[in-house]
A and B are shown apart, each in its own frame.
Chain A
Amino acid sequence: MSEMTTNPSLAVPAPGEDVPRGERRSYWGNVRERLRHDPVTLFFMAVIVAAVGTAVLAPWVAPHDPYATSMLARLRPIGTEGHILGTDELGRDMLSRLIWGARTSLLMGILPVVIAVAVGGLLGVIAGFMGGAVNMIVMRTMDVFYAFPSVLLAVAISGTLGGGMGSGLLALTLVFIPSLCRIAETAASQIRSLDFVDAARASGAPVHSIILTHVVGNVLPPVLIYASSLISVSILLAAGLSFLGLGVSPPTADWGQMLSSLRQGIYMQPLVCALPGLAILIVSLSFNLVSDGLRQAMDIKA
C-alpha cells in the first residue's frame, strides 16, 4: 500500500505552519464556547465540582470524626458551637457526616450510571447496528426489565441480594441498563441506514471500525446527555434504597441512610433532620440542570 508515497505528484507537503490557528474551533471547543455564555449551567457545574471536591477531600475538610458519638450532645440545633450544622441522634457532627456522606452518595450516583452507559450503550449499539435476530434477542431481554417500575426493580434486586453497597450498586446499574440500551439502539439503527455508513464501507472500513468511529460517534451524544440526567435519579434511588435499609448499612455516612435514621428526631430538630434531604436536593438538581445545559451545548447543529 505504498501507492501514495511512490508517486511523486502525490507527495505530501509538510503540514502548513501558515494555517490560521483558532479561526475554527474543534467540536469540544465549540461546546466550551457555548457553555461560557450559559451562567446557570456554569454555576451548577461549580456546585457539582465543589460537592465532588469536598467528597474527595473529606478526611481533610471534615471538622470532626463522622463516627464519634456523644450521648451528651444529641440532636443539637444548627449553629451550636463546635457543630455548625448541629448533631444527629447519636451526637455525631452533622457537617462531618454530610461531607463523608457525599462520598457514598456521589459514588452511588455516578458509578452505576457509568457502568450502565458502558454495558447498555454497547448492547444497544450492537443490537441497533446488527439488526435482525441479534436486535430481537437483546431488545426483548431489555423489555423484561421494563415490565417493572424502576424503583421496585431496584428494591427487589438489592432485597434479593441482601443489603450493602455492592448489591445497591448492582441493582442501580441493572435498572439503568435497559433505558440506555434503548436510546443507543434507536440511534444506532437510524445510523445504520444512512449513506455515510455505506460510504465508510465503500471506502474499505471493516465493520468494527465503522462501529467504533461512525456509530459510536453518533450514538454517544444522545446517550451521554441522557446519562447525565440519570445521575440525579441514581442519587435519589440510592438514597431511597439506603432509607429503606437496603443500601449502605449503618454506621457508614450516606445521605439516604442519614435521612432514615434522623426520622426519629424530626419533631425535636426538624431543620437538622432536613439537611441530608437538602444535600440530595441540591446535588441532584445541579446534575439535572447541568445535563440540560450540556444538551444545548452539545447539539452541533444548533
Chain B
Amino acid sequence: MTAPSKIVADPSQAAAAPLLEVENLHVDFISRAGRTPAVRDVSFGLAPGEVLCILGESGSGKSVTLRALMRLLPQGRSEIRGQVRFQGEDVLKMPRRALNMLRGARISMIFQEPMTALDPVFTIGDQIAETVIRHTGASREKAMARALELLELVRIPSAERRLKAYPHELSGGLRQRAMIAVSLSCYPQLLLADEPTTALDATVQIQILILLKQLQQDLGMGTIFVTHDLGVAAQIADKIAVMYAGRVVEYGSAEEVLLNPSHPYARGMLASTVSGQPRDRDIAAIPGSPPDMRNLPAGCAFAPRCAFATDLCHRSEPGLTQRGAFGHVSCHHVHRLDPPAPAGASVTTL
C-alpha cells in the first residue's frame, strides 16, 4: 500500500493525482416489478482535501450515489455501472477483500441518523476500537487509547467517561460526534457524509458542521457532503453538484453554481431560499413535483416543471454542456437563458 497521507499533505501534487474520479455512474434498483433507475450518468471528480456538496431534494439520487461509491447498496437488488476510481483503483471492480480493506481505512462514511448508526449494545469505545483493530491490528488497549484520542479530536467533553458509555446514554449531537470519531478512526483520505446534520437540532447542526469543516481541513480529507440544505453547501463546499431525478443537472465550483446558476432547476432552488427574501412574501417555489423514477418522461426530467421548456426538451434528454473550468450543465437552453436573477447572490450571506 502506498502512503496516501503524503499525497494529501502536499497540495502541489493534488492537481496531478485526483483522489476520486466518477465517470458515467449508473445505479438501477431491481425488483420484481422491474428496473428503476436511481442514478443516471453521474460524473464528477474530487482532488485531495476538496469538498464536494451534492445538493438535491429527497429521492434525487444523492444518497444512492454516495453509497454506490462504497458499494454499500444491497447486492442482487441493485446494479452499479460506470467507473469509480479512487486513487487510481477501480472500486467497482475491486475484489471483496480489497474493498473491505479500503472501507473504513481510506474511505469512510458518516450516516444521517446517529440514533441508528451506532450499535446499541456496544459502548462508544468498543465501536471505535473495532475499526481500529480491524485495520491496524492494534491491541485492544492501544485501540482504546486511540478511541479516547479520537473522542477528544471530535471534542466530546469528558471523553474518558464517554468511552464506556452506550449510545443511548448520549445526546443526539454527542452521538453524531461519536459517529464522526468512528469514521475518522483510521484517518481516511475520503470522507463521505450523508446528511450528517439533518437529524440534529439547528444549534447542534452548526456545531457539527464547523467541527466537520475543521477536521476536514486539519486532516486534509477529500469530502463528499450530501445535503439538501443550501446554507450548508454555501458554508463548506468547494464544488457543488446539483442532482435532479438521478442526474447531475449542474456541476461546478461552489461560487459558479451558487452565484451564477445556469440550470433552471438550480436557479429555482436558489430562488426558494428563505434568507434575503422579503419576509412578508411567500417563498418562490418550483411548481409541480419531482418525477416518478419508474416513469421518467422521454425528454428532460425537469421539463414538466420548467418555465423555459420547449418541444425539444420534452422530446430529447439534454447532453452535458461544458461550464467553467471543469463543470457542466445539462440543459438544452443554457446559452439562450438570461443571466440569472440576483436571488443567487443572497445565498452567500447564509
The chain A residue sitting closest to B74, CB to CB, is: A131
B197 interfacial contact with A, CB 8 Å: no
| A198 and B111 form a contact (CB under 8 A) | yes
How far apart are the CA atoms of A230 and B148 in the complex, in Å? 42
Q: Determine the chain B residues whose CB is within 8 A of the CB of A214 once the complex forms.
A: 119, 122
A12-B119 CB under 8 A given contacts A1-B1, A1-B101, A199-B111? no
A206-B116 CB under 8 A given contacts A23-B161, A24-B165, A199-B111? no
A267 interfacial contact with B, CB 8 Å: no
A194 interfacial contact with B, CB 8 Å: yes
For the complex formed, measure the closest distance between the CB of B140 and the CB atoms of chain A, giving whole angstroms: 10
| A196 and B136 form a contact (CB under 8 A) | no
Query: Which A13-58 residues have a C-beta within 8 angstroms of B?
Result: 13-16, 19-20, 23-24, 26-27
Q: Choose one: B99, B105, B122, B145; the contact of A16 (CB below 8 Å).
A: B145
| A202 and B72 form a contact (CB under 8 A) | yes
For the complex formed, measure the closest distance between the CB of A128 and the CB atoms of chain B, giving whole angstroms: 15
Query: Which A206-224 residues have a C-beta within 8 angstroms of B?
Result: 206, 209, 213-214, 217-218, 221
Assign chain B's interface to a size class: 35 or more
| B160 and A19 form a contact (CB under 8 A) | yes
B149 interfacial contact with A, CB 8 Å: yes
B325 interfacial contact with A, CB 8 Å: no
The chain B residue sitting closest to A199, CB to CB, is: B117
Q: Determine the chain A residues whose CB is within 8 A of the CB of B134 once the complex forms.
A: 203-205, 209
Q: Determine the chain A residues whose CB is within 8 A of the CB of B3 once the complex forms.
A: 3, 6
A195 interfacial contact with B, CB 8 Å: yes
How far apart are the CA atoms of A199 and B117 in the complex, in Å? 6
For the complex formed, measure the closest distance between the CB of B16 and the CB atoms of chain A, giving whole angstroms: 21
Q: Determine the chain B residues whose CB is within 8 A of the CB of A217 once the complex forms.
A: 119, 121-122
The chain B residue sitting closest to A202, CB to CB, is: B109
| B119 and A218 form a contact (CB under 8 A) | yes
Q: Determine the chain A residues whose CB is within 8 A of the CB of B121 once the complex forms.
A: 27, 217-218, 221, 300
Q: Determine the chain B residues whose CB is within 8 A of the CB of A201 once the complex forms.
A: 72, 103
How far apart are the CA atoms of A14 and B116 in the complex, in Å? 32
A4 interfacial contact with B, CB 8 Å: yes
| B119 and A13 form a contact (CB under 8 A) | no
User: A222-250: contact bitstring with B at CB < 8 Å (1 yes, 0 no)?
Assistant: 00000000000000000000000000000
Query: Which B90-137 residues have a C-beta within 8 angstroms of A?
Result: 96, 99-105, 108-109, 111-113, 116-123, 130-132, 134-137
How far apart are the CA atoms of A24 and B163 in the complex, in Å? 10
The chain B residue sitting closest to A198, CB to CB, is: B72
B182 interfacial contact with A, CB 8 Å: yes
A140 interfacial contact with B, CB 8 Å: no
B302 interfacial contact with A, CB 8 Å: no
The chain A residue sitting closest to B148, CB to CB, is: A16
| A300 and B166 form a contact (CB under 8 A) | yes
Query: Which A111-145 residues have a C-beta within 8 angstroms of B?
Result: 132
Q: Return 30 A-B CB contacts under 8 Å, by A number.
A: A1-B135, A2-B136, A3-B4, A3-B186, A4-B135, A4-B186, A4-B187, A7-B5, A12-B145, A12-B146, A15-B144, A16-B145, A20-B161, A23-B161, A195-B112, A195-B113, A195-B117, A196-B118, A198-B117, A199-B118, A199-B179, A203-B103, A204-B101, A204-B104, A204-B135, A206-B100, A213-B130, A214-B119, A300-B121, A301-B120
Q: What would 16 more interface pairs be, CB under 8 Å, given A10-B187, A196-B119, A205-B100? A: A1-B135, A3-B4, A24-B161, A132-B76, A195-B112, A196-B117, A198-B72, A203-B104, A204-B100, A204-B131, A205-B130, A209-B134, A213-B122, A217-B119, A221-B121, A301-B168
Q: Which residues of A contact B (CB under 8 A)?
A: 1-7, 10, 12-16, 19-20, 23-24, 26-27, 132, 194-196, 198-206, 209, 213-214, 217-218, 221, 300-301
